[in-house]
């Protein structure tokens, strides 16, 4: 019983330290590193971000814990009032598949073709559910909802639509 209480205390202590480190050190440094960053941007713990110089953040954004934003040459643009559940993944690049005489891992970023990297744009007032993946070239229109687990490979249009896990439109809200 005492061991369980001790473990619970240790967990709470480490969890609090992790939250404080993220809020007081990591997030402020990260926000200053972005190409541009608005006010009130919050990124949950355990995030992975590559290519900060190509990431533009609007105002009033919350990305849940475990967010992954990966870009090397293309941009990631996030509008205002965007929120995501945990484990959002945004990837702007792809690998060359036309070079058959070399291992894919040996192809450098400089050898990529323009079509291998494309911007990902997330509009304003967008809700991205838990585990959403946005791949290269995707544009999510303003006022859209993308359901949990969706793998988005094409634009999410029109405005005010709700998209399911298979990225087919589920509903459209009349305005």
Q: What is the pLDDT of residues 64-87, one digit of tens each?
A: 999 999 998 999 999 999 999 999
Q: Is 59 a catalytic residue?
A: no
**What's the pLDDT at 135?**
96
Closest alpha carbon to 30 in 3, 69, 60:
69
Strand 36-37 relative to strand 151-152, pairing: unpaired
For the four alpha carbons of 19, 81, 132 and 113, in that order, the dihedral sign comes to negative
CA atoms within 13 A on the CB side of 33: 10
By residue count, the chain amounts to: 175
Instruction: Measure the CA angle with vertex 42, ends 164 and 10; round to 5°.
Output: 100
Q: Which residues pair with 136 in a beta bridge?
A: none
Delimit the domains of the chain by residue range. 34-172
User: pTM of the prediction?
Assistant: 0.82
**What's the pLDDT at 139?**
96
Closest alpha carbon to 88 in 71, 72, 65:
65
Predicted confidence (pLDDT) at residue 52 exceeds the cutoff of 50: yes
Provide the pLDDT confidence category of residue 175 given band limits of 50, 70 and 90.
Answer: very low
Provide the pLDDT confidence category of residue 88 given band limits of 50, 70 and 90.
Answer: very high
Predicted confidence (pLDDT) at residue 174 exceeds the cutoff of 70: no
Q: Which of 56, 59, 95, 143 is catalytic?
A: 95
The residue that leads in pLDDT, 110 or 162, is 110
| Superfamily holding 34-172 | Hexapeptide repeat proteins (2.160.10.10)
The residue that leads in pLDDT, 30 or 150, is 150
Q: Each residue of 133-170: b (16+ CB within 10 Å) or e?
A: bbbbbbbbbbbbbbbeebebeeebeeeebebeeebeee
**What's the pLDDT at 114?**
86
Report, as an integer, the average pLDDT of 110-138.
Answer: 94
Quick check: bond before 158 cis, omega within 30? yes
Q: Can you list the positions of beta strands (E) in 10-154?
A: 36-37, 41-43, 48-50, 55-57, 61-63, 68-70, 76-78, 82-84, 89-91, 120-122, 127-128, 133-134, 139-140, 145-146, 151-152
């Amino acid at each position: 019983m005492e061991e369980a209480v001790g473990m619970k205390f240790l967990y709470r202590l480490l969890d609090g330290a992790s939250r404080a480190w993220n809020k007081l050190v990591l997030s402020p440094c990260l926000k200053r590193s972005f190409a541009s960053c608005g006010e009130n941007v919050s990124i949950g713990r355990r995030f992975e971000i590559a290519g900060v110089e190509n990431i533009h953040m609007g105002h009033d954004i919350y990305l849940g814990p475990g967010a992954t934003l990966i870009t090397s040459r293309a941009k990631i643009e996030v509008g205002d009032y965007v929120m995501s559940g945990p484990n959002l993944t945004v990837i702007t690049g792809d690998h060359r598949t036309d070079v058959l005489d070399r291992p894919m891992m040996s192809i450098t970023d400089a050898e990529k073709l323009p079509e291998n990297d494309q911007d990902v744009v997330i509009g304003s007032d967008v809700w991205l559910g838990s585990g959403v993946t946005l791949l290269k070239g995707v544009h999510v229109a303003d006022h859209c909802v993308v359901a949990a687990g969706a793998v988005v490979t094409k634009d999410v249009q029109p405005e005010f639509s709700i998209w399911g896990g298979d990225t087919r439109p589920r509903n459209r809200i009349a305005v």
